[in-house]
Every structure is written in structure tokens, then in C-alpha cells.
Amino acid sequence: MIYKKLAQLYENLSSTTKRLEKIDILSKFLNILSKENKDVMYLLLGDIYPEYDERRIGISNQIAIKAISKSTGTEANEVTKHWKKIGDLGKVAEELTKKKKQSTLHSHIITIEKVLTNLRKLPELEGKGTVAKKLGLITELLTSVSPIEAKYLIRTLIGDLRIGLKEATVRDCLAKTFFKDPKEASSKIQKAIDRSNDLAAVFELAKTGKAKNLEKLHVEIGKPIKAMLAQKAKDIKAGFKALGKPCAIEYKYDGFRLIIHKQYEKIICFTRSLENVTKQFPEVVKYIKKYTKGNSFILDSEAVGFDSKTKEYQPFQNISQRIRRKYNIEDLEKKLPIEINVFDILYYNGESLLSKPFEKRTKIIKKIIKNHPYKIIHAKQIITKNEKRAEEFYKKALKDNQEGIMMKNLKAEYNPGSRVGHMLKVKPTEKDLDLVITGAEYGAGKRSGWMSSFILSCKGKNKGEYLEIGKMGTGINEKEAEGKVTFDQLSKLLTPLITKEKGKRVEIKPKIVISVTYQEIQKSPNYNSGWALRFPRFTALRNDKPLSEIADLEEVKRDFLNQKRNWKYG
């Protein structure tokens, strides 16, 4: 299939914001897409591999600018100027290619396979001469394509496709295109996506039109699976009301999610963003080998830091640096030890447990894990219908420096990737949010040269929409200190993500997820979310959380209403 066809599809999809129209446009395309070309499904959402695969294109704006410069014969600073004016490198590539095409006539046909082949070579390149090799692969494509193709090629390279297509829309489109009962099919397709994280594999089976075939996609050891997410409950009473009695209540550990796969000697750990972090946590491999039974399993757990001397649990931000650390791993293992708190099991000795009730899964955990405090334990849990007992357990969790409790329905299944109503978190005050940085301002005086104030955004209603909710400058350090993030570090993380500059202000591509606490949420016309955080304070870089998990408007509103309730009732 030629790439022009896909570029035209992108163009048609971005010409409407209406979901149903998008589905109609995509449906025509999926109808003619053959099984052999199924990898196009990845490109539709801007990827080159399935979601579970860690390899990403990872081309910076700077390399993209160089490639546009080379392929269109325009000076790089001209490209940059143009980009700063219109804020979209894809459009810049389109316009400059158009200009060039007027003077030269040749244009070749580029196939989707060729595009994929070149793009897939990019993440493999390492070491000396990498930039030149990357530029070679990109310009080979860019010099041959038409203006529209150039636009989408560049947008794909920098990970900003801007066609407003969500995975959920693709799912509904598959259901409508290939099934008689699209509504029923849609939920089956979603399950298949959640189990496999592989849209091309799902497409291939959906194309058969038989819902039964979708069940062929199973959880597989070694292939990361999305974590099940929790909703919030106001308090224990509300939790019991929503879940029924009795239910399981566990500590809500203040650490980071770790999903651990084991098959005989092979052990792999993934974060909730499906990142493989096995190398960063050698102790997890040791603990699993030593203190668990079973040939193969997938465990869901929270890794929590503790002080090696006092044995007191530590807040997440103290250990967060371990997640991305590539060197001195052993030092860090000693300095910032973690305890693995296992709270779920998804697969055991050749069998998927996703549709088994939680009470059964929890029994299996007890059977296969030998508790070794400060190494690996079954998450502290009670099963009760007694509110008083639940309150006592909650108090104990807080005294142990944990965030609160999780309340879980005993009969519920495990739904990967879903924010479910059968697992509820209860925390004392709802005064923290996970948000993304979408802008910044450079500082003056002592802070000159650094970004020193940051615009925070939450998720809007549409995919890829981020709405501003406040400005933050506290909680970040000027000097380096244990467990603290500095202005310098944050500025370095954000600089490659700048999309527009105006004086001291910059706009930033939403990527860096952080946790903040705040004093209060107010309604506000000053930010386009309609809300403003008073005194937001940085608490941690959430490099373990994907962008899809930051707070949305609903959560902000819920926290606003909860805080009002607390004022009323003390």
C-alpha cells in the first residue's frame, strides 16, 4: 500500500472533529486494509510497534528540523523561524516541500512498508554517528514524498500526529466495520486490546467478523499488560455502599506500581507505563527467585521505599529516582531499598486469572508468596464487613506512612487498563493531583537560565486536549539535595519539549507528569479548565505514570466538591 493513501486518510480524519464522521472515514479504509498490511494499525495512532513494545521513534524537534532543512534545501534557522511562527513542524515540512516541488519535478512513490522499515531502524541506532544515520533514514523518505506526506511523516517522527483519533474510536470503528452487533463487539474488542496491547493483532482477528476469535488473544508472560486502575471513594462508608459487604481492604502503599512476570528463571518487571525496569531493580529478581513458589506467574504489586536503618516507610518521591537510573544501580539498591507489596495475580502456571474473582486470586497469592518483610510480602489485607474494624485498619495504614486504603470487591475480575468501580481508594484529603507541565517561564536573578515557574494542565474531554489549571514554582530546589528535584533538572527535561517561545514564556509539549499538592481548588476564569489551584507545590516527578493517567476535569471537580463538603462538616 502506498504511503500517500495513509497520508490522505490522516488528512480526512483531521478535517472533522465529529466522532461518527471519523468512524465512517476510517471504516472505508479498514475495509480495504488487508491482513498483510495490518501494521498500519500502529501508524494510525502514531506508533511503529504495538503499545507493549518499548521501542519508540524518539526523534527530537531538532533532528526533525535538520531533516526538513536537508530535504527541502532550506537553512535550518529558517525552518526554526517558521516553526516558531506556526507552532507545527508538520505544517512547516508541508509548506517547504510544496515550495521545493515547484522548482523540482521528481517525486517517487513511497510505500507504507518502506516508511515502516526506515522508522523501525531509528530506535535501533546507537553510538557514534547516530544522528547522521538517523538523518539519512529520514531524508531518504522526505526527499521523495509529496507535501501532505511530508507533513504526516514529520508529525509521526516527533510523536504529534494531531488527527484527533483515539484508541476508543478505532475500537468502535472495528466493531462497526466487521460485526453485526457493534455494541456487543465493542466491549469484546476492548477486552482483546487490554489483554494484548496490540492493535494490529486485534484488527486481524476482528476482520474475521467472529467475536469468538478475539478470545484467542491472551495475557502472555513477558509482554507487558496495563494495570487495573482505581476510582476514589469519599470515605469507608461510601466504599462499603459501592462495593457491598464484606470486602477486602488493603494498605494503599505510597510507592510505584510494579508488574512482575516470571517464567522459570526469567523474571521481568514493568511499570504502569509498560516500561521494562528489570535492570533497575535487581533485588526484585532475587526476592522472586527466593521467596515465591510457582513456575510461571504475573504479579501486580506496589514497590515502596523504606529507611534501611529505622525501617520506616518513605514517600514515593524518595525512591522515584530509581526508576530511570541507568548507573550505580547497586549503590542505589542499598541506599534506597524497596519492599514489594503484592496485591494481585493475573496469571498462574499456564492459566490466565483475569476472569477469576479477586478472592480466588488473593488466595493464590497467599499460597505462593512467603512473607519476608522489607523484601516481599502479600499486601496487608483484611476481609471485613465491619466499619469500625475498617476505620482502625485505615488509621493504622496512615500511621505507617501510607497514603490510605484500597477497598476491593471480592467477586470482581481483573480488568487491565480500566479505571474500575470495584477497586476504590480512600485517602484522608483529596489535596493532591497528578498533572502535566504544558508551559513555563524563565526565571530572573538567582534563577536566571532556568525555567522557574510552570504551567500545569489536566486532561480535557478530548484525547490530546490539556487544559491549564495553575502555575507552580514551589517545591523545587535550587541546589541539589537527596530526594529533591532541582530547577536545573526540570529545565533540562523540558527544554527539548519546547514548541513555542515568546519572550520569557515557552509552550511545552505535554509529556512530563508530576504530582502536586495544593491548598485549595477554586473556580476561575483565568485558566481554560475553568479551575485554578491555589498554592500548588511540586512533590514528585511521576516518571512511572503515563500521560493517560493524569487527573481529568471530572477528578478536579470531584476534589473541589469534596473540599466543600469538608468545610461544611468540619
Residue in 253, 287, 358, 527 binding ligand AMP, rule: CB under 6 A: 253
All 3 cell numbers of residue 407? 477497598
* Of residues 134 and 252, the one with the C-beta less far from ligand AMP: 252
* Of residues 149 and 300, the one with the C-beta less far from ligand AMP: 300
Q: What sign does the CA torsion over 342, 348, 352, 356 have?
A: negative
One-letter amino acid at 376 equals I
d(CA 259, CA 251): 17
Least distance from C-beta 382 to ligand AMP, angstroms? 12
Count of residues of this chain found to bind ligand AMP when the rule CB under 6 A is applied: 13
Residue in 343, 518, 527, 538 binding ligand AMP, rule: CB under 6 A: 343
Tell which positions 287-316 bind ligand AMP, by CB under 6 A: 302
d(CA 409, CA 414): 11
The verdict on 414 binding ligand AMP (CB under 6 A) reads no
Least distance from C-beta 250 to ligand AMP, angstroms? 4
| Per-residue mark of binding to ligand AMP, 424-463 (x: CB under 6 A) | -x--------------------------------------
d(CA 40, CA 28): 14
Burial degree of 352 (CB within 10 A; 0-12, 13-18, 19+): middle
* Of residues 149 and 250, the one with the C-beta less far from ligand AMP: 250
Burial degree of 126 (CB within 10 A; 0-12, 13-18, 19+): exposed
Name the one range near ligand AMP by CB under 6 A: 179-187, 244-252, 275-283, 390-398: 244-252
- CA nearest neighbour of 481 among 313, 321, 329, 330: 321
Contact present, 436 and 542 (Cβ < 8 Å): no
* Of residues 92 and 319, the one with the C-beta less far from ligand AMP: 319
Within 13 Å, how many C-alpha atoms sit on residue 200's CB side?
18
- CA nearest neighbour of 257 among 197, 320, 207, 334: 320
**DSSP assignment letter at 123:** G
430 Cβ neighbours under 8 A, 6+ residues apart:
232, 558, 559, 562, 563
| Per-residue mark of binding to ligand AMP, 168-207 (x: CB under 6 A) | ----------------------------------------
d(CA 118, CA 569): 62
Q: Which of 252, 408, 427, 459 is catalytic?
A: 252
Active site residue 252: yes
* Of residues 171 and 545, the one with the C-beta less far from ligand AMP: 545
514 Cβ neighbours under 8 A, 6+ residues apart:
434, 435, 436, 437, 456, 538, 539, 540, 541, 542
Least distance from C-beta 167 to ligand AMP, angstroms? 20
Name the one range near ligand AMP by CB under 6 A: 181-189, 246-254, 508-516, 559-567: 246-254
Name the one range near ligand AMP by CB under 6 A: 135-143, 251-259, 287-295, 358-366: 251-259
Residue in 66, 257, 322, 509 binding ligand AMP, rule: CB under 6 A: 257
Least distance from C-beta 426 to ligand AMP, angstroms? 11
d(CA 254, CA 305): 8
d(CA 347, CA 242): 27
* Of residues 83 and 253, the one with the C-beta less far from ligand AMP: 253
Name the one range near ligand AMP by CB under 6 A: 1-9, 247-255, 348-356, 523-531: 247-255
d(CA 53, CA 275): 9
Residue in 163, 406, 412, 436 binding ligand AMP, rule: CB under 6 A: 406
Least distance from C-beta 510 to ligand AMP, angstroms? 18
d(CA 203, CA 208): 9
Give long-range contacts, CB 8 A cutoff, 24+ apart: 330-338.
Answer: 330/282, 333/281, 333/282, 333/283, 334/308, 335/308, 336/305, 337/283, 337/305, 337/306, 337/308, 337/374, 338/255, 338/281, 338/283, 338/284, 338/303, 338/304, 338/305, 338/306
* Of residues 117 and 371, the one with the C-beta less far from ligand AMP: 371
The verdict on 96 binding ligand AMP (CB under 6 A) reads no
Contact present, 477 and 446 (Cβ < 8 Å): no
All 3 cell numbers of residue 515? 504530582
**DSSP assignment letter at 285:** H
- CA nearest neighbour of 165 among 305, 44, 56: 44
The verdict on 250 binding ligand AMP (CB under 6 A) reads yes
Name the one range near ligand AMP by CB under 6 A: 16-24, 153-161, 222-230, 438-446: 222-230
Least distance from C-beta 321 to ligand AMP, angstroms? 18
Least distance from C-beta 406 to ligand AMP, angstroms? 4
Name the one range near ligand AMP by CB under 6 A: 2-10, 160-168, 224-232, 369-377: 224-232
Residue in 230, 277, 407, 541 binding ligand AMP, rule: CB under 6 A: 230
87: left (phi over 0), alpha (psi -120 to 50) or beta: left
* Of residues 259 and 451, the one with the C-beta less far from ligand AMP: 259
* Of residues 405 and 490, the one with the C-beta less far from ligand AMP: 405
3-state helix, strand, coil in the chain (%, to 5): 40, 25, 35
Least distance from C-beta 388 to ligand AMP, angstroms? 21
Residues catalogued as catalytic: 252
Give the binding site for ligand AMP (CB under 6 A). Answer: 227, 229-230, 250-253, 257, 302, 343, 379, 406, 425
